[in-house]
Amino acid sequence: MLVSLIQVPLFLSYLGREQFGVWVLAIQVSAWLQLLDGGMNGALARFIIDYRREPRGEQLRSCLATGMRVLLVQGVLVFALAATLGLGAQTLFGLPGKDAEPFSRIMLVLGVSGMLGFMNKVPQSWLYGCQRLDLANLVGLVMAPFELLLLVCFLSTGHGVMSLAWARLLMAGTALCITWWIAIRWVDFPWRLVRGGWDAPMFRLLAGFGGGMFLLTL
């Protein structure tokens, strides 16, 4: 919360109102694209709670393997849509030419960040399913000041509004590595199980539960 309060006056002082407005629009569009999750993240966490104590591990294997594949496809779709929406900045959002070009570049970088974020949902779900929210919160606590440091470094070196996008990308990549490492090293993530194949009945089960969460989010 403190970092969020610091960020807005920091952005305005370095970027001005117009460039800050372009960033806010890009972030809003990126946030809407996150709805493509369709509740899969929450559904995966929910069923991990049920299956992780199963003696044979068949249901857990099916849940993790199917959930990971769905989230990877969703992540690629988020990247593709972000890049496409960025190219349509003038037509879709009425941005003038001088703002359309940085908006397109921002959306491309945010698309990659979003894709990395979807790849991070599997270990996040594992931490939640294993009731290790303390570790998830610790990652957030470490990443918040790191993000602020990145922003100050990029802004002070004259990268303009792209500073915010590059910082977001580095944050997403770092969070991905840290969360996977914690899940595997500290919470015994069963990596061998995700090598299993696609399971259509499990997908229907995850999608059915996730659909309700998706409607609630909407």
Q: DSSP label at 161?
A: T
Q: How many CB atoms lie within 10 A of CB 29?
A: 20
pLDDT tens for 116-154 read 999 999 999 999 999 998 998 888 888 888 989 999 999
Query: So what's the pLDDT on residue 218?
Result: 82
How much of the chain, in percent, has pLDDT values that exceed 90?
72
Residues 17/23, Cβ–Cβ less than 8 Å: no
Give me the mean pLDDT over the 59-74 stretch. Answer: 94
This prediction's pTM: 0.91
Q: Which of 53-57, 110-114, 188-192 has the lowest mean pLDDT?
A: 53-57
Query: So what's the pLDDT on residue 55?
Result: 64
129: left (phi over 0), alpha (psi -120 to 50) or beta: alpha
Half-sphere exposure (Cβ direction) of 91: Cα atoms closer than 13 Å: 5
Smallest CA-to-CA distance from 163 within 11, 9, 6 is with: 11
Residue 65: band (very low, low, confident or very high) from pLDDT cuts 50, 70, 90: very high
| Mean per-residue pLDDT of the chain | 91
- Taking 90 as the threshold, does the pLDDT of residue 193 lie above it? no
Query: So what's the pLDDT on residue 202?
Result: 94
Give me the mean pLDDT over the 82-93 stretch. Answer: 91
The two structure tokens encoding residue 175:
């969070």
Give me the mean pLDDT over the 39-58 stretch. Answer: 88
pLDDT tens for 148-189 read 999 999 999 989 999 999 999 999 999 999 999 999 999 999
Query: So what's the pLDDT on residue 172?
Result: 95
Residues 209/47, Cβ–Cβ less than 8 Å: yes
Cα angle for residues 74, 77, 81 (degrees, 5° grid): 140
**CA-to-CA distance for 202 and 115, rounded, in angstroms?**
23
Q: DSSP label at 191?
A: G
The two structure tokens encoding residue 178:
């840290």
- Taking 70 as the threshold, does the pLDDT of residue 13 lie above it? yes
